[in-house]
Structure formats: structure tokens, C-alpha cells
Structure 1
């Protein structure tokens, strides 16, 4: 039986206000990010952290009051330091300092640093009172294909999470950390792999040395970009292998080669994603009054006969039969409930 991703929620509101900051410091001591923290909210430190264990990578979604932190060499010796930290600012302004480099991060920005080196950081709300939030990834050294020496120029720098691979990575981390209940424990390693490929590719591009990233890592990262693009453009009837290739500045031949290891083609992937969206809508009681052709058109099928044939080939029955089989029981239940309510009313 499938189980959800392994996660742990840490909420200081479970204890009295006077003990909240101390509880937060105890939690922090158990992570690779052990720091000495200062805050003006120590008397009532309302904070929440949700930890997701993905095997090769750990994600933490934080919400906490404004604070400042410093990680000294003594603190490094007291913690497991063989990690990188990638932090995405969601709310507030973060400032990171390491090895003489400084990055100022606003919502949508990433910063990246090495847990084995001293550092300083601050994260403050706009007015000093609003809570701030972030998504943090703890990444073991050996999970990235780039050496610490190669990555050093990026420590404490700012990287955009609103464009290119950075935007795809930010969206991935936000969705995964916001809805972990939608994923299964058996998928943890695969989910981490996708995230690490995107991280490696983003870092490689900021180093202007993408060749330092192994070919297979770059291939998987590009594949994730292509899939995301397809899902966002499914309603566009003009979506095609050629338009996908053009959007990613690769040749059509290269795009087809990208899918060779996926046991499908680009065109088949587009068709299957469209059919899956149609299938979901046809089984949705809230869309029960929407014409089938309107649902098909919403997801890029403009020809009624073509849609019907493709749906029947994929699911073994016509769209009409599929909708009737899934919605009729719901309508019967609703009708019966209405009858009962009417009898009780009169």
C-alpha cells in the first residue's frame, strides 16, 4: 500500500510563548544549518517548519519571524557540515554573506552556500513584523556533479527563480513542499533526482560552464523543462513537436532524441497529456453540464472525431460512455439526497 512522503512538521505554537524560541533553537541544532540566532521576537517566536525527506535531498519549508544568524567555525565543528544549502526566498528579504561575497534576495530569488564555511544571514519582513518564509534544500556534497572549488564563486550569491531553469526549479520546490500529501514515499528518490538535476543545471549556467554538468544531468533537466512547457501549453491547438523545439532553442531532431529513452515520442506525450486532462474533466461532477466538445477543445482537441477515436484507443470506451459511467452514480446519489431533503422539508 502506498504511503505519503516522509515528513515532519515542527510548530512552535504547540508550546507556551515563553518556550517557543528555545524550542526553535533546539530544532535548528539538529540540522546542518546550526547557527547562533538573534531576533526581536524571542518572547513569542511563532514559527513553523515542514521537513520532507527525499533521500538524497532534504527539503524544509520555513515560516518564522524576522531574524539574523551567524555560523561560526565552532558551530561548524558541532554539526554535520558536508552539505550545501540552496534557499528560495518566498516572503521578506534575505541577505547572505560567505567568503566575502554577499547576496540580497527578495521573493523569487535563490541563494546558495556551503555549510562547512562560516557565514552570516538575515531574513526580515518588510515592516519587521510580518513573518518571512522560504524553502530550503539541504544537499550532500556528493549529490552534485560539480566540485566545491567550481561552485565557490556562487556562494552567497543571488540567482533568479523567476526565469529559465531557475523558474522551473522554484516552481518545482514550491509545489512539492506545499502539497507533499500528493506524492508517495516510493517516489522520493525520483523526486529528489529531478530536483538535483535542475539544481545542477541552474548552477552550471550561472557558472557559465554548463559543460561541467554531465550530459545525462543536462538531458534530464531539459526533459523536465520540456514537460513543464507542454503541460502549460496543452490548450494551444498549435502545440506541436516543432513549436516545443523552437521554444527551447533546440532542433526538432534533438528534441526527438531527448525522448528516445522515455519510451514515447514528443507527439505521443502531448496527446497523452491532453487525453489525461480530458479524462479528469469528464469525471468531474462540477463540469457535468459542460459539452464534451468544449472539454476537448479546452485541452487542444479541435476535431471531434479525432478526439473520440484517440480517447477510445487510450481508455477503451467513448468519452460519452466514460462520462456516463463516472457521473451517473453521483447524479443518482444527489437526486436521492434531494428527494429525502424534500420529504423532510414537507
Structure 2
């Protein structure tokens, strides 16, 4: 949901407007624009997924920082995971400094203070949640801050955040938004303990979050036709039997779940104008379907229409669709 677009405001009001919105949405902070004399461009979008808030901030270079003093000015005690989809971010906390590019992320604990900045045109996507929702001691959260690059969970969480952002309008309004928030928090817990906890805690949280991590891994590899129970199990250092037991305990059939997610992806692409130039077979192949006849049959069974008819009905006004078209 769009909260602020400075293009709609007089130039003289843009800096203060962005500061006010930043404080109102995420709590007390200080904001400094890189080149205020050259003009401020900011577009801020915010979506709520139950207890989790997703932010998208894009525009001209800036620096935002929070100190323990800022934390004392409000009651928010939050943890944020920050990513940079365009440009390169700079994160600093307690002597730790790191660059945040498209393939990395940063972990920030508000009461501990931190600084985040980028130069030139940038796009940052982050989510924020109350610290207590993680169910982890604060010292563990802070210990993980400089160690994230060593976590095998980081790529999964990064892809998950990007997917949430790409479909945020639809997903935040979906009845499953709370479940998506839970999955995000489970991945965040796994991220933190994978680099900062003792062996006993790591094993415990790894077991608790195994199914969440498996499903996140599958979502990230749906386009791979070589995705099989054996490769999924191997990626998580478990047996195929354990994989199936986890899925059964989670109330899902592994093969059916994968096929359904792939079908949802093809259905979405076939109805989207930017994919109109691609053949149906190419769309199906990009979601892991290598047998066109099998794909067409499963699509028709699931949605009551052939892929071709679905595309015809959704890529042009319905008034022009003849009811007897195949």
C-alpha cells in the first residue's frame, strides 16, 4: 500500500514529509538526505502481514539511524531484516560494518541502535516485527548481526522476502497472510540460531523449522525440473523418509504441494500481459513441467479450462471471448 510519494508534494515539503512518515511507520529515528539541494525523491510502501510489517523504500540517497536514545523515546522493541534490491546499502552497528547488495541482507535490533544508508538511486525492502515474536533472547539476536553471511538460511529468507515484495498487494490481503508471517518468522529464527546459538539450540530450532525451510527451498527451486524428494532431502541433510514424515505431520502431500505451486505459477503467468509473447509450453517449462500433455491435463483438472482457453479469457477483455472457444 502506498503511504508516501514525494512527487505529489511541493519540493520544500518533501524532506519533512518523509521524516514524519518514517517515524510514524517504524518508530523514532533520524533521517538525512544525501543531496537535499538536488531534490528529494522518495516512494514508501507498507504492507501488514499479521504481526509483521513489510516496507519498500525507494528513491534518492539517504541515511537513517536509530540510537538507544531513539529507542527510549518510544515503546517499540523490534527486529528488522533489511535487503537492498537496487543499489548498495551500507549497514553499521556496534563497530560492525557491511555492504548490503542484491544477494545479502542485514539484521537490525532497534534497541541496540544501527545505521543504514545508500547512495544515488536505491530500493530497500525490509520487514519489522516485535522482538518478543521471535521467541529468542535479545543477546542471541545481537550476536547474529555480524555473522549472517555464514548462514545457510540467508539465501532462503532473502528469496522469501523478495517473493513477498513482488506480490505484496495480493498476499497481504489474502486470508493466508498470517501463515506467511509465521513462515517468515520461522525462517528468521532459523537464520539467527544457525550462526549465533549453541549446538543444542541449533538442533532444537532446526527441527522446529525444518518443514518451513523445506517449503521455502521448494518455492525457490520450483522452476528446476530436477526437483525431487531425493534432492530436497539431500539439500537438508535428511533422509527421504524423514522428509515425507515431516510433510505428513504438516498435513500436506509433498508431490501434490509441488504440483499445485507450479500450476499456480503457470496460471498467473498465462494471465499476465508481460508473458503474452511466450508460448504455453515455454511458460510451463519455466515452472518445471517438461511434459506438455501432462501439464495441460493437470491444468485442466485443477482449473476447469485448458491453458490455451485460460490465456484467451484473461489476456483480453471478457466481452470478446466467445463461449465456445477451445
TM-score, shorter chain, exceeding 0.5: yes
CA pair 186-46 structure 1, distance change in 2 beyond 3 A: same
Q: Is the 8 A contact 1:169 1:195 kept in 2?
A: yes
Give TM-score scaled by structure 1 length: 0.74
What residue in structure 2 maps to residue 204 of structure 1?
193
CA pair 42-214 structure 1, distance change in 2 beyond 3 A: same
CA pair 47-104 structure 1, distance change in 2 beyond 3 A: same
What residue in structure 1 maps to residue 127 of structure 2?
137
What residue in structure 2 maps to residue 339 of structure 1?
none
CA pair 252-131 structure 1, distance change in 2 beyond 3 A: same
Pick aligned residue for 1:89 from 62, 80, 84 = 84
Quick check: 288-297 or 264-273, which moved more?
288-297
Give TM-score scaled by structure 2 length: 0.78
**Aligned with 1:146: secondary structure?**
coil
What residue in structure 1 maps to residue 10 of structure 2?
16
Q: CA deviation at 1:72?
A: 3.4
What residue in structure 2 maps to residue 78 of structure 1?
73
Mapping of 1:33-44 within 5 angstroms? 33-43=27-37, 44=39
The unaligned stretches of length 5 or more in structure 2 are none
Distance 1:297 1:32 in 2: 38
Pick aligned residue for 1:52 from 28, 37, 47 = 47
What residue in structure 2 maps to residue 170 of structure 1?
158
What RMSD over aligned residues (CA atoms) do the two structures have, in Å?
3.8
CA pair 244-14 structure 1, distance change in 2 beyond 3 A: same
What residue in structure 1 maps to residue 181 of structure 2?
192
Size of the aligned set, in residue pairs, is 315
**Aligned with 2:238: secondary structure?**
coil
Q: CA deviation at 1:134?
A: 0.9
Q: Is the 8 A contact 2:30 2:64 kept in 1?
A: yes
What residue in structure 1 maps to residue 216 of structure 2?
225
The unaligned stretches of length 5 or more in structure 1 are 1-6, 337-346
Structure label with greater radius of gyration = 1
Mapping of 1:227-246 within 5 angstroms? 227-233=218-224, 236=225, 238-246=226-234
